[in-house]
Chain A
Amino acid sequence: MFKRSTGDKIFDTFLYTFLILLSLAFLYPFWKVLVMAFNEANDTSLGGALLWPRKFTLQNFKVVLQNHQIYSSYLITISRTVLGTATTVIATALFAYGLSKKKLMFRNFYLTLCFITLFFSGGLIPSVINMRDLGLANNFLVYIVPAMYGVMAMIIMKSFFNSLPASLEESAMIDGANDFVIFFKIVFPSSMPVIATIALMSAVGQWNAWIDAYIFISKESLMPVQLLLQRVIQSSNAASEIVKIVPNDEILSRRVTPYSLQLATLVVAIGPIILIYPFFQRFFVKGFLIGAVKE
């Protein structure tokens, strides 16, 4: 459309070079971790494996995935992600559907209760004390129940439900179906774009969360992978921390080091997200924009 001057061409060259370098800066740390996780531990400690594993091995992953603690943590992470996302989506969608009906009695009161929480909160300490009092410490439910409803998610869903054509529900209402049936048979399936957005946001949040576990969980059987990683990176001596998880003689006999195991754990923890996010990011972007516009 526009004619390009010489200045434009020079600018374009700089632009593309800069963006390529920037993209590499985003990717390289991940690549470096991947390279070292697939490299033999003793070779990694010599340094210099920058772009490609020099001595390829799966040993680090074998040790990590056979280890009892990491295995059970991974199960906890997966179950909190699946269960937490399912509960959040269904509970919040029902909540939003009910609130989207103008005929709902006390609707304004309910909505006011919701909006106030966007501006005021009890803050960290009272919330923690409250959850402890509710018996959520060392309880798997601490991952599920406090995250069950989200007011922002409710607002996004509510505006989507309101934008659905009324005729969609009317035919079912004539048949005398009750609201739950209408919701699950008609409204929920027609709202897949917004449901997917909320579900993915919740799933990423669940997968990455560690503070809740850090505060409330001391039982090792309930620890998610992120907390395990947090312990490793924050202890003054990472080696001693990972040795607690993987016994020392195992490290000696299997040609792995605490550091190589940390990297393999890291790959296991971020692998699923990195593999799926390029396909799902458009849902995130869409939902993020709906939320931003509503604000």
Chain B
Amino acid sequence: MTKGMSGLERLQQAEAAHRPVHRESLLSRFKEGCRRFKAQLPLQGMVLPGIVWLIIFCYVPMYGIIIAFKDFRITEGFFAGPWVGLKHFDAFFSDPFALKAITNTLIISALKLVFGFPAPIIFALLLNEVRSLMFKRVAQTVSYLPFFISWVVMVSLMQTILSLDGPLNSLLMQLGLIHQRISFLAQPELFRAIAVLSDLWKGIGWGSIIYLAAISSIPQDMYESAYMDGANRFQRIIHITIPSIMPTIVILLILSVSGILGSNFEQHFLLGNKMVSETAETIDTYVFRTGIQAGRYSYATAIGLACSIVSFFLLISADRIARLMTKGEKGLF
């Protein structure tokens, strides 16, 4: 019967045969869906609690951002309170303390980028030059140690080392570099240096892991042929190792650049006492103090929102620039 029919006719017939099924398909597909859902109930039961958690702990706060455009009072919910438009954003840009906090954040982040970013790379390059495996492993393990302690402990250690009668003062006195003991943690002009150095001390070992991993995947024969061609050790580092880990460096640099509006909150909050606050206050600590401690919730949310929007665009533009510079090869997304 089907022999004499053209392809088109056959298709039409087939379609017609299926049409009645399609007509009740909505209901039957729904029923079929329910049956499938029931059959995988254990799997859904594993996933759904997580989804509920995400909604409660991630999406409800995202919705709560609307209080940046309202006058929120703690006794009411996110929904209540009158709309006030951009009032809090206007206030933010004319608030001298906020401007100070922005300046401080930018200066500290720039310093951390200039000094803190290359440090793990240099450390990884140095570790890679160590021939004794044992020595390398011990040095590496020791360098991870500060990563595992909290900033609270970190600041306690710093107070011990930097105190008036602490070892650093004694050492500098003995070397004759200073004639009077310095109270390091109470000097606003020293704060930035201390912040950068303590960050570096805490993060250099851990930060080097990713570069060491990148270095270890460089094929050995590249070094061998360079050696044959008479390249010395420094030339091998500069012409083989560094170009090979460039993609990793670029990606981490993009991420760091997008983070320049964020500061290390714990570090600044714990180290920033009243004596040094003129250089220590950053956007993060300012949001915390005005929002959580002074109760200006809407205002602090507005600051947070403004900064995350700027950070998001920084991330995108840093990514674009990296792509342009590497002709589209290296980017985040």
The chain B residue with its CB closest to the CB of A7 is: B232
Q: Is there an interface contact between B65 and A274, defined as CB atoms closer than 8 Å?
A: no
Interface string of B204-238 (1 = CB under 8 A from A): 01100110010000000001100100001100000
A contact residues around B36 at 8 Å (CB): 105
Asked whether, in the complex, the Cβ of B291 is within 8 Å of the Cβ of A125, the reply is yes
As a 0/1 sequence over residues 267 to 282 of chain A, the CB contacts with chain B under 8 angstroms (1 = contact) are 0011001100110010
Query: How many whole Å from A60's CB to the nearest CB in chain B?
Result: 14
Contact with B along A257-295 (1 / 0, CB 8 A): 000001100100110011001100100110011001000
8 Å CB contacts to B: which residues of A120-139? 120-131, 133-134
The interface size bin for chain A is 35 or more
When distances are taken between beta carbons in the complex, the residues of chain A under 8 Å from B205 are 26
Q: Which of B144, B152, B201 meets A281, CB within 8 Å?
A: B144
Q: Which residues of A sit under 8 angstroms from B233, Cβ to Cβ?
A: 7-8, 11
Give the docked Cα–Cα distance between A123 and B130 (Å): 44
Given known contacts A18-B126, A23-B142, is B50 in contact with A95 (CB within 8 Å)? yes
Which residues of chain A from 42 to 66 have any CB-CB distance to chain B below 8 Å in the complex?
Answer: 47-48, 50
The stretch of B2-10, B100-108, B301-309 that contacts the partner chain: B301-309
B42: nearest chain-A partner, CB-CB: A179
Which residues does chain B contribute within 8 Å of A179, judged by CB atoms? 40, 42-43, 46
Given A16-B130, A32-B161, A105-B40, do A204 and B148 touch, yes or no (CB 8 Å)?
Answer: yes
Residues of the A chain whose Cβ atoms lie less than 8 Å from the Cβ of B170: 48, 50
Rounded to whole Å, the gap between the CB of A235 and the closest CB of chain B is: 10
Q: Do the beta carbons of A126 and B67 come within 8 Å of each other?
A: yes
B46 touches A97 (CB 8 A): yes
A114 touches B54 (CB 8 A): yes
Residues of chain A from 1 to 39 with CB closer than 8 A to chain B in the complex: 1-2, 5, 7-8, 11-12, 15-16, 18-19, 22-23, 25-30, 32-33, 36
B26 → chain A closest CB, angstroms: 17
Q: Decide if B155 is an interface residue (CB 8 Å cutoff).
A: yes
Contact B47 A99 (CB under 8 A): yes
> Chain B contacts of A230 at CB under 8 A?
152, 270
| Interface membership of chain B positions 140-177, coded 1 if the CB is closer than 8 angstroms to chain A and 0 otherwise | 01111110111011011111110001010010000000
**Does B77 reach chain A (CB closer than 8 Å)?**
yes
Q: Is B74 touching A129 in the complex (CB atoms < 8 A)?
A: yes
Contact of A2 (CB < 8 Å), options: B161, B206, B227: B227
Residues of chain A within 8 A of B42, CB atoms compared: 178-180
Residue in B47, B49, B77, B152 with the greatest tally of chain A CB atoms within 10 Å: B152
- Answer whether residue B134 sits at the interface, using C-beta atoms and an 8 A cutoff: no
CB neighbours of A47 from chain B (8 A) = 165
Chain A residues lying within 8 Å of B64, measured Cβ to Cβ, are 122, 125-127, 129-130
The yes or no answer to A183 lying at the interface (CB within 8 A) is: yes
List B contacts of A253 (CB < 8 A).
Answer: none
Q: Once bound together, how far apart are the Cα atoms of A95 and B44, in whole Å? A: 9
Within 8 A of A (CB), among B176-195: none
Question: Residue-by-residue, is B50-75 near A (CB-CB < 8 Å gives 1, otherwise 0)?
Answer: 11011111111111110100001010
Question: Are A91 and B49 in contact, CB atoms less than 8 angstroms apart?
Answer: yes
Name the one of A98, A236, A274 contacting B148, with C-beta atoms under 8 angstroms.
Answer: A274
In the complex, the chain B residue whose C-beta lies closest to that of A263 is B160
Tell me the B residues contacting A by CB distance below 8 Å: 33, 36-37, 40, 42-44, 46-47, 49-51, 53-65, 67, 72, 74, 77-78, 126-127, 129-131, 135, 138-139, 141-146, 148-150, 152-153, 155-161, 165, 167, 170, 201, 205-206, 209-210, 213, 223-224, 227, 232-233, 265-266, 270, 273-274, 287-288, 291-292, 297, 300-301, 304-305, 308, 312
Q: Give the interface of A toward B (CB within 8 A).
A: 1-2, 5, 7-8, 11-12, 15-16, 18-19, 22-23, 25-30, 32-33, 36, 47-48, 50, 91-92, 94-95, 97-99, 101, 103-105, 110, 113-114, 117, 119-131, 133-134, 145-146, 148-149, 151, 154, 178-180, 183, 204, 207-211, 215, 226, 229-230, 232-234, 236, 262-263, 266, 269-270, 273-274, 277-278, 281, 284-285, 288-289, 292
Sample of 11 A–B contacts (CB below 8 Å): A15-B130, A23-B138, A92-B50, A95-B50, A123-B61, A125-B64, A125-B297, A130-B56, A208-B149, A269-B153, A288-B210
